[in-house]
A = this chain, B = another copy of it.
Amino acid sequence: LPKVAKEHGEARRRQIVDAAYRCFARKGFHQTTMRDIYEEADLSPGAVYNYFKGKDEIIRASFDLDLGRSQGILAEAMGSADPLGALADLVGFFFQGLAEAAEIGAGRVNVQGWGEALINPPLLQTFRQTMGSVGEILAQVVRRAQQAGQLDPDLDPAAVSQLLLSLYYGLELQKALNPDLDVGRYTAAAKALLRSAARHT
């Protein structure tokens, strides 16, 4: 029974967060009212409050996403024998993921989330953590690429990792503001750039 109850609770939370997510993508966090959320979720106001303390918690929950799917490819990249190639793979994987996630409005929610994070400390933590850990992994891969002689050893691994993050976030932003943007061409250019950065021996 407790297990069933727990599963039920998880399902309800998911139902609420999903509904909220759709609202957020459409109207933004602060234009979305609790009413929007519980109507989109087909629930009563009280029901929502049985699962979340308030709107803020729902916003935060919208970003407690499974970095899980990405974890695998990131770990793989760190261990790859061809670090530079792994970076290119990451670019392909993440940029393409962006294009797919755009369909559920993820880009719209994320871009708004950045702004929200600036005035919402707990959310800021979430974002910094994600960016921080991914950034460290990227820096590590860059470092390994340097050790493998694939990249100029004078490059600043941390800064390069930030550049790579910028290519990702910048794409997410530009794609959100202009959905017509062609992710494929963008990705191709990014890979070309990466290739050209390879050490010419």
Question: A interface vs B, CB < 8 Å?
Answer: 26-28, 30-31, 108, 111-119, 124, 127-128, 131, 152, 154-156, 158-160, 162-163, 165-171, 173-174, 176-178, 181-182, 185-186, 188-190, 192-193, 196-197, 200
Q: Is the CB–CB distance between B114 and A116 below 8 Å? A: no
Complex CA gap A118/B102 in Å reads 13
Chain B residues closer than 8 Å to A127, beta-carbon distance: 177
Q: Is the interface of A mostly helix, strand, loop or mixed?
A: helix
Query: Contacts of A163 on B, CB cut-off 8 Å?
Result: 167, 170, 186, 189-190, 193
* A189 x B111 contact (CB < 8 A): no
Q: How many copies does the complex hold?
A: 4
Q: How far is the CB of A178 from chain B (nearest CB, A)?
A: 6
Give 24 A-B contacts (CB < 8 Å), ordered by A residue: A28-B116, A28-B119, A30-B30, A108-B118, A111-B118, A112-B119, A114-B173, A114-B176, A117-B177, A131-B178, A152-B192, A152-B196, A154-B192, A155-B192, A160-B189, A162-B171, A162-B189, A163-B189, A163-B193, A166-B167, A166-B174, A167-B170, A169-B169, A196-B197
